Amino acid sequence: MLKDKKITVLTFSGPRFEDHGLDVDVLPEISAYKRLLQETAKTLWKRKHPTRERLPKNFDAEISLKFFKIEAGSTGVPLVRVAPSRTAPELPFEDELDEAARLLEHSIELAATSDTPPRDLPRNVIPLFRDFGKMLRPDEFIAVSAGPARKQGARYDNLVKTRILSWESILYRDSVDLQGEVRGTDLDGLRFTLRLPDSRKVPGRFRAEQEAIVLEALGEHTSRRLRVIGQGEYSTEDGSLQQISNVDRVEIVEPGPAVTHQVPIWQRLAAIGAAVPEEAWADIPADLATNVDLHLYRHKDGSD
Same domain, 49 and 188: no
Among 128, 144, 169, residue at a domain's last position? 169
Of 21-25, 70-74, 142-146, 273-277, which range is least confident?
Answer: 273-277
From 178-187, 210-219, 284-293, the region with the lowest mean pLDDT: 284-293
46 plus 130 within the same structural domain: yes
- Which of 98 and 150 is assigned the larger pLDDT? 98
Question: In this structure, are 129 and 231 located in the same domain?
Answer: no
Kindly state whether residues 161 and 220 are assigned to the same domain. Answer: no
Same domain as 9, residue 155: yes
Sheet holding 141-146: strands in order across?
Answer: 64-66, 76-82, 5-13, 141-146, 154-156
Q: Is residue 229 part of a domain?
A: yes
- The answer to whether residues 248 and 231 belong to one domain is yes
For residue 57, the model assigns a pLDDT of 80
Mean pLDDT (the chain) is 82
List the CATH number of the domain containing 236.
2.40.50.140
Q: Residues near 10 by Cβ (< 8 Å), separated by ≥ 6?
A: 29, 30, 33, 76, 77, 79, 142, 143, 144
Same domain, 114 and 247: no
Whether residue 304 lies inside any domain: the answer is no
Residue 303 lies inside a defined structural domain of this protein: no
Judged by average pLDDT, the poorest of 79-83, 122-126, 280-284 is: 280-284
In a domain, 302, yes or no: no
The number of distinct structural domains making up the chain is 3
The backbone torsions φ and ψ at residue 36, rounded to the nearest 5 degrees and listed phi first, read: -55, -45
Q: Are 198 and 150 part of one and the same domain? A: no
Q: For residue 234, which of 193, 176, 173 has the smallest C-alpha distance?
A: 173
Where in the sequence is the domain holding 292, given as residue range(s)? 265-297
